[in-house]
Amino acid sequence: MKLLKVLLVSAVPIFLLTGCWGSSELEENAYAVVIGLDKAEDHMVEVTFQIANPQVGSTETGAAQSEPPSDIVTVTAPDILSAKELANSIVSRKLNLDHLRTIIIAEDFAKTKLAHHTIASSIIDPEMRRENNIIVSKEKASEFINKNNPKLETRPHKYYMFMQKRWRDTGFVPYSTLNRYFQRLSGELFLAIYATTEKDEIVKKNEDDYLAGQVPQKSGDPVQMIGSAVFKDGKMIGTLTGAETRISLFLRPKGLSHSVIQSYPDPINDQYRISVRMMKKGKTKVKIDTKTNPTEVKVTVPVALQVFSNPSLSNYTTNLKNQQRLKESIKDTLEKETIDFIKKTQDEFKSEPFLWYLEARQTFWTIDEYTQYNWPKKYSEAKIEVNFNVEIENLGEQLKPAVIKK
């Protein structure tokens, strides 16, 4: 009898652990790697699915030379999940979001409350991961996806993955995921990647002071990603240029963008600009005094410079006075641009994208005290000082610039 009981107890896990009811073969699934969200009538949403063709770009390329790299389907439905079910009436394979990495939101849709409701409700589906990247397109998301035809990447998910990694190199766009979006819904500013295929080209001396679509371009991929879409309380309220996005990332206490290449006016000959690599040396120090009125904020940003290009051929290498002049000029430019941008966030957005609210919150004993303090309002009235500790650590390998002898 005892042996029979042991056998019965041992058999129970077999029935619980060997279930295959939800299994499906890989070739039976259609994997959407990008989805686009557009505004439709009567609180409906136009959802565009870009479904990857697994044969294109794989070892079986020879058998798929005439096939497109992806299929694009747009349906109108109340939300993303119902749109996925509706799309299954068009797509031969079962639509799956397990490999989804990018969500494109049209700018006009991002400025409505429905955009937040649509995104927040979709998280119920376990296939919707919080690591999905958010991109805001100037035009309709469906147009953006259809017009994006990159030259070097046949697989759409690879294109978006490589482009989104470039922010670490350039700082032109922020790191924006669903997880970070949901963390900043209480008055804080959330920055999303801003992109477009529409062109409104402008030539500027400051190479990072562009929005997507403004970069002067003669050929190449149709999509430009530079700048940020600014969200507050789940709605888009404005945009930042590439230069303003860089400032935002550098002012964060633990910014992930530590090195950018940027040009500044030559203090000796203002007809030229000097290109430098600017590296963040350590954390940005933020001291917030919440007991004063107005609130006082003191920020210190340690940066080191490596001079890359000197078109004016002025002697900065051996002339110490010129080095000091260059250092002070870059410091003044950085502090002026930063203060002007902070003033813009105080007046226009009434909040900050620098994650300073995390520092302010640490000065209170309870969350209720912090909530009653109303940080966004206090920030918009705060007295803010910014100091860049600038050090020049490298001026190139040549002692003197080559000059033409007459």
What's the whole-number mean pLDDT along residues 61-87?
78
**Segment 23-44, tens digit of pLDDT:** 555 567 778 889 999 999 888 9
Residue 363 near residue 290 (C-beta atoms within 8 A): yes
Residue-wise pLDDT tens digits, 179-235: 889 888 877 899 999 999 888 877 777 777 788 887 887 777 788 888 999 999 889
pLDDT score of 164: 72
The tokens describing 77, both together, are 């439905």
pLDDT per position as a tens digit, 40-60:
988 899 999 988 777 665 555
Residue 354: closest CA among 328, 375, 327? 375
Q: Which band of pLDDT confidence, cut at 50, 70 and 90, is reported for residue 106?
A: very high
Tell me what pLDDT residue 387 has: 93
Q: Is residue 16 over pLDDT 70?
A: no
- On whether the CB atoms of residues 305 and 263 are closer than 8 A, the answer is no
Output Rg (C-alpha) for the chain, integer angstroms.
26
* Span 247-285, pLDDT tens digits: 898 898 886 667 788 888 888 888 888 888 888 888 889
Q: Is residue 90 within 8 Å of residue 123, measured between CB atoms? A: no
Residue by residue, DSSP assigns 301-340 as EEEEEEEEE-TT----SS-HHHHHHHHHHHHHHHHHHHHH
What is the per-residue pLDDT across 56-73, written as a single tens digit (0 to 9) for each?
655 554 555 566 667 888
- Report, at the CATH architecture level, how domain 252-406 is classified: 2-Layer Sandwich (3.30)
Where are the domains positioned within the chain? 28-247, 252-406
Residue 220, Ramachandran bin (φ over 0: left; ψ between -120 and 50: alpha; else beta): left
